[in-house]
């Protein structure tokens, strides 16, 4: 199967290798199996080419340029990775955030054909009007305004023709690239490249199915059905499929359009505060949130109601993740580095921090940096960068939703500062942190945790006798085997091996030197040859001693694993 995929992707793989070479990434090609895809003439050309203006840019800029040239799927992957500060350095993330998947719209005739094929009836039977000029387009689909026969205005999101096949082909290519360059990527610090591609594949599979977006909208509509200051458009599930999504049209202006807000008699400061409250409610109360709150996705109606659109990216937190994330902010507010460290470890999916003191010390320095600032001088973007830097440094595997939240809070802070001259994200987060703390230690939650622990303990007690019986049976038959694997001792064992080798060599040197001295006292037959007054056997012993001394003084080369 791998061979078949390699053959089918060969032309595209060769293109990837050529692009990497063009932007100065010879090491990625020459140290991986990709080098076999580059012809001999091309190899000679890149060796003889001394003029490389591409090196006037940084390595991170060249990575962005490569991604832009490779197309929409790679851009989507890079945009997803720009939210993963635990995997990539900050300088690269800054470059990936510049990526824009600007794709021209496809023909309206094709959009009409797709809608008719998906709904199984003529366009005129569903819509009274269908605007030929799309409202917007992206790499996955484009949006048209329309009107139902009932008179309701809607927007119709239509998937690009052939985009599923293109994405699936590129995903196969990405799997193949990881197979070919996996060792190189791991040596560069990306510990689990295959897991990254698997997660991206799941994300893209969801994005290619518009019913997932409709389901997310319905969930949030139910959670906010009693709110009067916030609204989510209604999806028409009966008119939606995996490739077509029909949503209620909502008129409004962008949240950052202060001139229009003032013309409607609305206070921009109130709009900013409402928007932040809505988002913090999603994160800290519901644990289910819209993950892409850029100004184009947040509208304001003339009556001041906030409207969220485009639910292609949503995030979720479990109850325990929500408590742990809030604990990071609470520990920071209390200037308690140890509490922050504990919350981080609870938040991490898996963490192996070899030096907890160093970890707590870094968190303490972070607290000190922000403790001396006036509230108005504090920036969510600075805190997000600092937290992401610590996560990257200690390779903490935290849920991807955490990075989506940090990114969303930074975007919201930018919006807030446009609307509100004294806007400060921390002032809004603080009461939610206290509320989460009360919820975590409420009698209801403690009882719920006790019930869960009791259930787990009961399950253990139920299976323990059978497990013990099986262990005893294997032990009595001599079939019980223990497998012990020591990790982290390879370097120590290598050093011990080198020390033993050099000790043996030193003893041999001393032994041959002693033999050379004692050989002078020996009584030899007349046939023994002499040189410069010394028996030849003595010269042999001195020569062996000199050779051993030379071996001792030479530096030892590190042994490869």
Q: pLDDT tens for residues 19-34?
A: 666 666 655 655 566 6
Do the Cβ atoms of 339 and 327 come closer than 8 Å? Answer: yes
User: pLDDT per residue over 481-511, tens digit each?
Assistant: 766 655 555 566 666 677 777 777 777 877 8
Catalytic residue among 86, 170, 257, 292: 292
Phi, psi angle pair for 148, to nearest 5°: -75, 165
- 305 or 54, greater pLDDT: 305
Q: Is residue 292 among the annotated active site residues?
A: yes
The percentage of residues in the chain with a pLDDT greater than 90, rounded to a whole number, is 21
| Residue 454 predicted with pLDDT over 80 | no
Q: Are 270 and 422 in contact (CB under 8 A)?
A: no
**For the chain, counts of helices (H) and of strands (E):** 23, 13
Q: Copy the structure tokens of residue 279.
A: 């988002």
Q: Which of 182-186, 187-191, 318-322 shows the highest mean pLDDT?
A: 318-322
Name which residue leads in pLDDT, 248 or 524.
248
**pLDDT at 68 (0 to 100):** 75
Residue 208 binned pLDDT confidence (cut-offs 50, 70, 90): confident
What DSSP line would sit under 399-417, residue for residue? -HHHHHHHHHHHHHHHHHH
Share of the chain above pLDDT 70, in %: 75
Long-range contacts of range 387-391, CB-CB < 8 Å, 24 or more positions apart? 387/328, 388/85, 388/86, 388/90, 388/93, 389/85, 389/90, 390/344, 390/359, 390/362, 390/363, 390/366, 391/85, 391/86
Choose between 453 and 5: higher pLDDT.
Answer: 453
The Cα 303–Cα 271 span in angstroms is 11
CA angle 383, 325, 446 (to 5 degrees): 155
Span 94-120, mean pLDDT? 84
pLDDT digits (tens, 9 = 90+) for 388-420: 788 878 878 788 788 788 888 888 888 888 888
SS3 158: strand
Query: What pLDDT, on the 0 to 100 scale, is given for residue 218?
Result: 94
Separation CA 65–CA 68 (nearest Å): 5
Kindly report, residue by residue over 242-301, the tens digit of the pLDDT.
Answer: 999 999 999 999 998 999 999 999 999 999 989 888 988 898 888 898 888 888 889 999
């Amino acid at each position: 199967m791998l061979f078949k995929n390699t053959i089918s992707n060969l032309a595209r793989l060769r293109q990837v290798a050529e692009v990497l070479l063009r932007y100065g990434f010879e090491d990625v090609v020459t140290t991986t199996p990709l080098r076999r895809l580059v012809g001999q003439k091309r190899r000679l050309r890149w060796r003889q080419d001394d003029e490389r203006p591409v090196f006037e840019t940084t390595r991170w800029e060249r990575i962005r340029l490569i991604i832009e040239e490779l197309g929409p799927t790679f851009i989507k992957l890079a945009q997803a990775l720009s939210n993963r500060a635990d995997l990539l350095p900050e300088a690269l993330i800054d470059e990936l955030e510049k990526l824009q998947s600007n794709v021209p719209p496809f023909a309206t005739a094709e959009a009409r054909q797709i809608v008719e094929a998906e709904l199984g009836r003529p366009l005129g039977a569903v819509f009274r009007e269908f605007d030929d000029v799309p409202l917007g387009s992206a790499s996955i689909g484009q949006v048209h305004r329309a009107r139902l026969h009932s008179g309701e205005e809607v927007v119709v999101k239509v998937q690009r023709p052939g985009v599923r096949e293109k994405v699936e082909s590129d995903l196969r290519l990405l799997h193949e690239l990881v197979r070919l360059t996996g060792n190189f990527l791991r040596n560069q610090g990306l510990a689990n490249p295959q897991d990254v591609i698997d997660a991206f594949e799941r994300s893209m599979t969801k994005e290619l199915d518009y019913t997932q977006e409709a389901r997310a909208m319905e969930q949030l509509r139910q959670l906010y059905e009693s709110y009067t200051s916030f609204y989510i458009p209604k999806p028409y599930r009966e008119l939606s499929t995996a490739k077509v999504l029909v949503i209620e049209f909502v008129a409004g202006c962008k949240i950052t359009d202060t001139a229009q807000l003032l013309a409607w008699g609305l206070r921009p400061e109130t709009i900013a505060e409402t928007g932040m409250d809505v988002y913090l409610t999603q994160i800290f109360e519901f644990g289910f949130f819209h993950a892409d709150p850029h100004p184009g996705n947040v509208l304001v109606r003339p009556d001041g109601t906030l409207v969220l659109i485009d639910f292609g990216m949503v995030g979720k937190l479990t109850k325990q993740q929500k408590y742990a994330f809030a604990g990071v902010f609470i520990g920071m507010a209390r200037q308690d580095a140890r509490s922050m460290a504990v919350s981080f470890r609870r938040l991490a999916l898996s963490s192996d921090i070899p030096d907890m003191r160093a970890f707590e010390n870094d968190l303490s320095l972070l607290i000190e940096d922000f403790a001396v600032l006036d509230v108005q001088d504090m920036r969510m973007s600075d805190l997000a960068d600092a937290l992401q830097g610590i996560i990257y440094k200690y390779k903490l595997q935290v849920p991807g939703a955490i990075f989506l939240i940090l990114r969303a809070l930074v975007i919201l802070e930018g919006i807030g500062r446009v609307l509100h001259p004294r806007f400060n994200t921390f002032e809004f987060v603080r009461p939610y942190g206290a509320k989460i703390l009360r919820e975590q230690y409420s009698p209801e939650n403690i009882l719920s945790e006790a019930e869960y622990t009791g259930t787990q303990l009961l399950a253990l007690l139920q299976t323990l006798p059978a497990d013990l019986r099986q262990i005893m049976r294997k032990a009595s038959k001599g079939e019980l085997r223990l497998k012990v694997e020591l990790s982290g001792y390879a370097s120590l064992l290598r050093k011990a091996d080198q020390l033993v080798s050099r000790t043996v060599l030193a003893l041999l040197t001393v032994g041959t030197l002693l033999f050379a001295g004692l050989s002078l006292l020996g009584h030899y037959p007349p046939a023994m040859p002499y040189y410069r007054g010394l028996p030849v056997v003595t010269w042999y012993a001195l020569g062996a001693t000199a050779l051993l001394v030379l071996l001792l003084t030479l530096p030892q080369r590190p042994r490869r694993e």
